A = this chain, B = another copy of it.
Amino acid sequence: MRMLKCAIMANIIQAVRGTQDYYPEEMAVRSWLYARMRQVSESFGYQEYDGPFLERFELYAAKSGAELVEKQSYVFEDRGGERITLRPELTPTLARMVATRQRQLTYPLRWWSFGPFWRYEKPQKGRTREFFQWNIDMVGEDSPEADAELATIAASFLKTIGLGANEAQILVNNRQLMQAELESLGIAGALRSEVFGLIDRKDKLSAEAWQERGKELGLDAAQMLGVEKLLGNQDLWQKSESLQRFFRAVEAQGAADYVRYAPHIIRGLDYYTGTVFEAWDTAGEFRAIFGGGRYNDLVNAVGGEPVPAVGFAVGNVVISLLLQALGHAPDVSGRAPIYVTVFDDAGLAASLALATELRAAGLKVTSHLQPDKLQKQFKQADRSGAQVVLVLGPDEIAQDMVSVKDLRSGDQRSVSRAQLAAELSKLSA
């Protein structure tokens, strides 16, 4: 048997590396996350939107950053010879959509989206090549309070999915502040964005490799020391009026316990212009849970007039692993609690009609479709995840009753047909 199974498995066409099959158990978690994202987004007055999954390569070439565009994106020519990219992120699409209807839209836009993205990276724990992301953005408002709304939404999301402020934190910085500080160290122009990259890699490189990389960029010992001192200064935010207002607005919205300043947060993408933030698990066992920030030049970069924007994106993979690791994985099956059996051939139509009647009353009902032995049907009901099984035999039909068996307790009783839907609604509520 075992050898037979192996022989069969060997012939099965394999899934593409880095993709994920969502069997119902995994899909229930993804859909649960999507529903929580919807709930939080809508509670703050954000509207759902979506862009295409295929975009022109030029869209990303505009601003996404060399690594993402040149190394990680899926690019190919379609049958018409057009150069297509599977979207590696949503923000450039958002910028394109805003630019396309720039004069017709009412600002600020508060928009959110959930969908698939692709990056050709080495698959590993917490990273797949095909993954899902929640994106949420406010477009058309440039203020610390707008940034704070997004950070508050992020905190509200963490809370909604069951992560406490002791388990996950949102770390915030501001690129304008960092730019001013770097300038006072004599780091400006093209070198500044290289040094932003260096700061972003602080946690990813060893101390030696990091120092080495700094020297390669041309930083002298005093500058390296200056940068390191900067990254250790937890009070740096007090120099920024923008961050002061940001933290006041976060506090007013009850999210202060989730949000704190962190001078090493800078983000990898090129297009951020002001506030930036990332969420991390406090135990430090996972990659960043999500990140975002202000990007005021992107609509302009894709051909529109300048319009300020702020937003963030949350992938589904790391967060699912984190919830699992912390014991917060949701208990979701989505299965129908009611199972209608078929007593005999003559009763088939009556059983199908009973299931139809209960569905019309808003209940979730699985129908057995042939007159198997009742024990077999009970077993199948149990494996399907049902809580109660209904039996409609000739006696029940004659008396206008239905037998209701509770699969957990084993109790069985008769309920009148007229009261059945109401009784079962109580049960599955």
Interface residues of chain A, those whose CB is within 8 Å of chain B, are: 5, 8-9, 11-17, 19-24, 27-28, 30-31, 42-45, 47-56, 58-59, 62, 74, 76-80, 82, 84, 96-97, 99-103, 106, 110-111, 113, 116, 118, 120, 129-130, 141, 143, 145-146, 149, 152, 156, 248-249, 251-254, 302-305, 333-336, 339, 348-350, 352-353, 355-356, 359, 362-367, 369-370, 380, 383-384
Contact = CB atoms under 8 A, between A and B. Distances in A.
Give chain A's interface secondary structure class. mixed
7 contacts: A28-B48, A43-B363, A44-B336, A249-B349, A249-B352, A251-B349, A252-B352
A79 B110 CA distance: 36
A53 B116 contact: yes
A356 B356 CA distance: 43
A365 B45 contact: yes
Contacts of A51: 21-22
A23 B97 CA distance: 8
Given A48-B334, A336-B42, A17 B82 contact: yes
Given A42-B364, A120-B78, A365-B43, A31 B58 contact: no
A364 B39 CA distance: 9
B24 A49 contact: yes
A103 B16 contact: no
Given A97-B21, A353-B252, A369-B146, A16 B52 contact: yes
Contacts of A47: 24, 27-28, 333-335
By CB atoms of chain B within 10 A, which of A9, A54, A130 has the most? A54
**What are the 8 tightest A-B residue pairs by CB atom distance, in nearest-first order?**
A45-B366, A19-B52, A45-B336, A76-B76, A12-B303, A252-B349, A11-B303, A24-B47
